[in-house]
């Protein structure tokens, strides 16, 4: 379980998130809100990609903020993240992109490549091992990013707007893949600018507005609140 304790994040002097408290990484959670609501910042704070201005992050009881470099790296290894912009290396083929996290952790190259091939097969990209990212469709790039996120079999999977820019059919397939791969495996947190497709899949919904939590709970209950409807009005357009 991930626990946030009065966490705040600033970019320069500007507050970007918080204070946020509560548990994450249990029930599947959708995070929604308008632009600049703090969705991406929240995901990055959960796994230590941004340093908080104040507050704490506990991951399975370990203090991510106070951890030294070795423990911090071990804690970070419990996470996989699917980035909104894919964050793929165009100079590496699909196999190289997926193997890279394992190689950076010191895994022997033959074993890293074997695991990367297995991850590519899981997301339906077997046969595309040597394709460069620029040669892949938007949906295939999303699946490649997912393969890289899961290759090390992390405990927690964070997905930042994984459906952005995809047509409805491709969005549905990517969403199926996310939930099929992660069912029963651990914590799944998905941020989305347009959360509609997630609402029937996720057990909880968290709505952010201007960096602050507005409501959290069962999606139907959260969406019934007038303040939430007012904030999300236009997000689905």
Average pLDDT over residues 19-25: 91
Which position has the token pair 């071990």? 74
170 phi and psi angles, rounded to 5 deg: -65, -40
15 phi and psi angles, rounded to 5 deg: -70, 135
> Could you tell me which residue, 162 or 42, shows the higher pLDDT?
42
Percent of the chain at pLDDT > 90 equals 54
Q: State which fold the 1-78+154-237 domain adopts.
A: Rossmann fold (3.40.50)
Average pLDDT over residues 70-82: 89
**92-123, pLDDT tens digit by residue?**
999 999 999 999 989 999 999 999 999 999 88
Domain ranges of the chain: 1-78+154-237, 84-152
pTM of the model as a whole = 0.88
pLDDT at residue 237 tops 50: no
Of the ranges 31-45, 157-171, 209-223, which one carries the lowest mean pLDDT score?
157-171
Average pLDDT over residues 23-30: 86
Q: What is the dihedral of CA 195, 199, 203, 209, to 10 degrees?
A: 40
d(CA 134, CA 151) in angstroms, rounded, equals 21
Mode of pairing for the β-strands spanning 54-59 and 29-32:
unpaired
28: three-class secondary structure by DSSP: coil
Which position has the token pair 């599947």? 28
**What integer pLDDT is reported at residue 86 of this predicted model?**
79
Where does the pLDDT of residue 138 fall: very low under 50, low under 70, confident under 90, or very high at 90 and above? confident
């Amino acid at each position: 379980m991930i626990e946030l304790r009065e966490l705040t994040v600033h970019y320069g002097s500007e507050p970007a998130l918080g204070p946020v408290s509560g548990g994450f990484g249990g029930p599947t959670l959708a995070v929604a809100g308008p632009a600049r609501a703090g969705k991406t910042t929240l995901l990055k704070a959960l796994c230590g990609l941004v340093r908080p201005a104040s507050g704490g992050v506990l991951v399975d009881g370990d203090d991510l903020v106070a951890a030294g470099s070795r423990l911090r790296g071990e804690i970070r290894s419990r996470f996989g993240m699917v980035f909104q912009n894919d964050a793929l290396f165009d100079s590496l083929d699909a196999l190289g992109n997926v193997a890279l996290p394992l190689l950076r952790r010191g895994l022997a190259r033959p074993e890293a490549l074997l695991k990367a091939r297995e991850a590519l097969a899981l997301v339906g990209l077997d046969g595309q091992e040597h394709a460069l990212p620029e040669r892949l469709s938007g949906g295939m790039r999303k699946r490649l990013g997912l393969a890289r996120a899961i290759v090390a079999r992390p405990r927690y999977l964070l997905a930042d707007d994984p459906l952005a820019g995809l047509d409805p059919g491709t969005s549905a397939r990517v969403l199926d893949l996310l939930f099929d791969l992660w069912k029963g495996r651990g914590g799944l947190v998905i941020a989305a600018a347009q959360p509609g497709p997630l609402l029937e899949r996720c057990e909880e919904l968290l709505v952010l507005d201007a960096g602050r939590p507005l409501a959290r709970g069962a999606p139907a209950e959260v969406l019934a609140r007038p303040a939430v409807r007012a904030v999300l009005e236009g997000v689905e357009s």
